[in-house]
């Protein structure tokens, strides 16, 4: 195998000692880059007023980190604009939140051209290129236009929507067509693959030519195999690769941290009450408002439980340059205040709300202390919090995961989590009640099912599987 070239909007840079930042994807992808050497290219996070200069290159052993600045206009229009105000809401089925501006679409393609221009001079013929996420969908097409013939793969971290949703987006056809320039499209779940193929079929643009049964693009035991597709006069593969976490490492971390004074202090402050935990970037896709409604309904429906349970919601701010996110920050803070005002007593606060980022180790310790993990997105590509909550549990006294059926993680955690429909307040409230009253025996059985899966298919496995499929000989596609 040649070098690996990874391209993503942001690059998780290693620390001064060359160690990648803790946490899933960065560690696994860095390990893959170490093996054969390679490049990780992306935006530096810096903005400039006029045309960005040449990229900065940082060399760490066999890995080059190539960082390009962007103009302020490009960040406003490509990142905050088309990527986060069109693609993100549409792919999460929020047509009502999508805002189209022609200028922003143009900027999205301009930045993809810039990334292609930066990458081409660095490429060698046997390099394998792996592009990440919705910011960079047209990148392969731009590379092909520049004569690049290398194998190029794409992995979408967010869901792929059904045709009726995608087709509501202007230039959906350009987006769909540009994906045919890749050799391998990776999605989080088989549902996303189905939706993608459905879009091609409805568009009359192409179809499956062969399903791979147990072939090189078959993954895991819940996702089935991938498909070989012919569309827009191109042949390529599409398959589900459900992203994992560093399961064993996270389990060890949580066990270690649980003895720390800060975690013990938090436990003491609960005064014997059960703890329900929610952890999410502050994003409308995560269903935080609906979750708080469901918790309030649980308190209303179960007067005997009032004063016996505390909900801890950690929701660090994200994308604060996008107006919907700023508005949401205020709305969630108000909602928590109202619930506390309505139901709190002089010695009990129903919801503790933390609107900032906590350290990873602290999160691991908090998950382990919690009796219930409440993970209720309205739509989510995977949701790593669900997996982290499971990995962090004490095997002798595991907590219960209440999980939205609309999270990609639900495909793997069936039989372990209690599923809920986050749009159904009453049902989610009942799921909270069921979780809080579950027997130790049942908790253990459910947890073991989930943990077995997460240990087996962790992020290293995910990364290896994807790259193996991307490197599979082109003859597989015929
Ligand atoms: C996208 C897709 C897909 C959260 N708060 C804090 C904190 N976090 C960490 C969690 C977890 C990560 O952030 C969030 O991961 P998710 O998967 O839940 O969500 P997205 O950011 O939306 O990610 C998603 C993912 O890509 C991977 O493919 O699963 O569906 O939307 O790891 O622990 N970390 C720290 N402090 C916090 O306060 N340190």
All domains of the chain in start order, with CATH = 4-244+459-472 (3.40.50.2000), 247-456 (3.40.50.2000)
CA 41 / ligand 1 centre spacing (Å): 21
Residues 100-118: pLDDT tens digits? 888 889 999 999 999 999 9
Contact criterion met (CB below 8 Å) for 432 and 293: no
Contact criterion met (CB below 8 Å) for 57 and 84: no
What's the pLDDT at 28?
85
Name the residue with the closest Cα to ligand 1, atom 26.
157
Helix (H, G, I), strand (E, B) or coil at 441: helix
Name the residue with the closest Cα to ligand 1, atom 18.
383
Note the pTM of the prediction, 2 decimals.
Answer: 0.96
**Which is the closest atom of ligand 1 to the Cα of 283?**
22
Name the residue with the closest Cα to ligand 1, atom 33.
385
Contact criterion met (CB below 8 Å) for 382 and 407: yes
Residues 310-343: pLDDT tens digits? 999 999 998 887 788 888 999 999 999 999 999 9
pLDDT at 476 over 70: no
Residues 133-191: pLDDT tens digits? 999 999 999 999 999 999 999 999 999 999 999 999 999 999 999 999 999 999 999 99
Contact criterion met (CB below 8 Å) for 459 and 246: yes
Name the residue with the closest Cα to ligand 1, atom 34.
360
CA 27 / ligand 1 centre spacing (Å): 15
Contact criterion met (CB below 8 Å) for 217 and 472: yes
pLDDT band at 220 (very low <50, low <70, confident <90, very high): very low
CA 48 / ligand 1 centre spacing (Å): 28
CA 247 / ligand 1 centre spacing (Å): 15
Distances (CA, A) of 432 to 290, 344, 382: 13, 19, 21
Ligand 1 pocket test target in 9, 281, 318, 319 with most atoms within 8 Å of CB = 281
Which of 14-23, 53-62, 432-441, 453-462 is predicted least confidently? 14-23
As annotated, the active-site residues are 157, 380
Within 13 A of 198's CA, how many CA atoms are on the CB side?
A: 14
Ligand 1 pocket test target in 26, 191, 241, 279 with most atoms within 8 Å of CB = 279
Contact criterion met (CB below 8 Å) for 92 and 158: yes
- The encoded tokens of residue 69 equal 């600045």
CA 385 / ligand 1 centre spacing (Å): 6
Helix (H) or strand (E) holding 361: helix 360-369
List, chain by chain if needed, residues with CB within 6 Å of any ligand 1 atom.
23, 157-158, 243, 279, 281, 314, 316, 357-360, 363, 380-385, 388
pLDDT at 214 over 60: no
Contact criterion met (CB below 8 Å) for 268 and 212: no
Vertex 294 angle, CA 290 and 298, to 5°: 170
- Rounded to whole angstroms, the Cα distance separating 270 from 234 reads 59
**Which is the closest atom of ligand 1 to the Cα of 384?**
17
What's the pLDDT at 221?
35
Helix (H, G, I), strand (E, B) or coil at 64: strand
- Rounded to whole angstroms, the Cα distance separating 183 from 234 reads 9
Residue 439: how many other CB atoms lie within 10 Å: 8
Which of 15-19, 60-64, 122-126 is predicted least confidently? 15-19
Residues 248-279: pLDDT tens digits? 999 999 999 999 999 999 999 999 999 999 99
Contact criterion met (CB below 8 Å) for 220 and 204: no
Contact criterion met (CB below 8 Å) for 291 and 278: yes
What's the pLDDT at 102?
84
């Amino acid at each position: 195998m040649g070098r690996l070239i990874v391209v993503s909007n942001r690059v998780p840079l290693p620390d001064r000692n060359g160690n990648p930042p803790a946490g899933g994807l960065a560690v696994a992808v860095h390990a893959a880059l170490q093996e054969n050497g390679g490049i990780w290219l992306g935006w530096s996070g810096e903005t400039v007023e006029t045309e960005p200069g040449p990229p900065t290159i940082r060399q760490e052993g066999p890995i080059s980190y190539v960082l390009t600045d962007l103009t302020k206009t490009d960040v406003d229009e490509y990142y905050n604009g088309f990527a986060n105000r069109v693609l993100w809401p549409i792919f999460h089925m929020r047509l009502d939140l999508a805002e189209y501006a022609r200028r922003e679409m143009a900027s999205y393609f301009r930045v993809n051209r810039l990334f292609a221009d930066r990458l081409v001079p660095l490429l060698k013929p046997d390099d394998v290129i792996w592009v990440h996420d919705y910011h960079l969908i047209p990148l392969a097409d731009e590379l092909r236009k520049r004569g690049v013939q290398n194998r190029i793969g794409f992995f979408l971290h967010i869901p792929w929507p059904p045709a009726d949703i995608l087709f509501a987006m202007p230039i959906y056809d350009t987006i769909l067509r540009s994906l045919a320039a890749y050799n391998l499209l990776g999605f989080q779940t088989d549902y996303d693959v189905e939706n993608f193929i459905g879009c091609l079929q409805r568009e009359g643009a192409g179809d499956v030519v062969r399903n791979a049964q147990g072939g090189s693009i078959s993954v895991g035991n819940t996702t089935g195999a991938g498909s070989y597709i012919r569309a827009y006069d191109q042949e390529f593969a599409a398959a589900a690769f459900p992203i994992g976490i560093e399961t064993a490492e996270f389990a060890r971390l949580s066990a270690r941290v649980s003895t720390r004074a800060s975690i013990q202090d938090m436990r003491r402050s609960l005064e014997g009450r059960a703890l329900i935990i929610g952890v999410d970037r502050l994003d409308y896709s995560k269903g935080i408002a609906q979750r708080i409604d469901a918790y309030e309904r649980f308190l209303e429906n179960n007067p005997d439980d009032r004063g016996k349970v505390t909900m801890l919601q950690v929701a660090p701010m994200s994308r604060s340059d996008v107006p919907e996110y700023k508005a949401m920050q205020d709305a969630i803070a108000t909602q928590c205040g109202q619930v506390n005002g309505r139901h709190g007593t002089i010695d009990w606060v129903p919801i503790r709300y933390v609107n900032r980022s906590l350290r990873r180790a602290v999160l691991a310790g908090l998950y382990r202390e919690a009796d219930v993990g409440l993970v209720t997105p309205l739509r989510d590509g995977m949701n790593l919090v669900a997996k982290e909550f499971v990995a962090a549990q004490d095997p002798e006294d595991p907590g219960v995961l209440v999980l939205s059926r609309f999270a990609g993680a639900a495909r793997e955690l069936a039989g372990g989590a209690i599923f809920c429909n986050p749009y159904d307040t009453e049902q989610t409230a009942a799921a909270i009640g069921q979780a809080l009253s579950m027997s130790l025996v049942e908790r253990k059985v459910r947890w073991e099912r989930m943990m077995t899966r997460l240990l087996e298919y962790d992020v290293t496995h995910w990364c290896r599987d994807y790259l193996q499929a991307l490197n599979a000989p082109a003859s597989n596609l015929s």
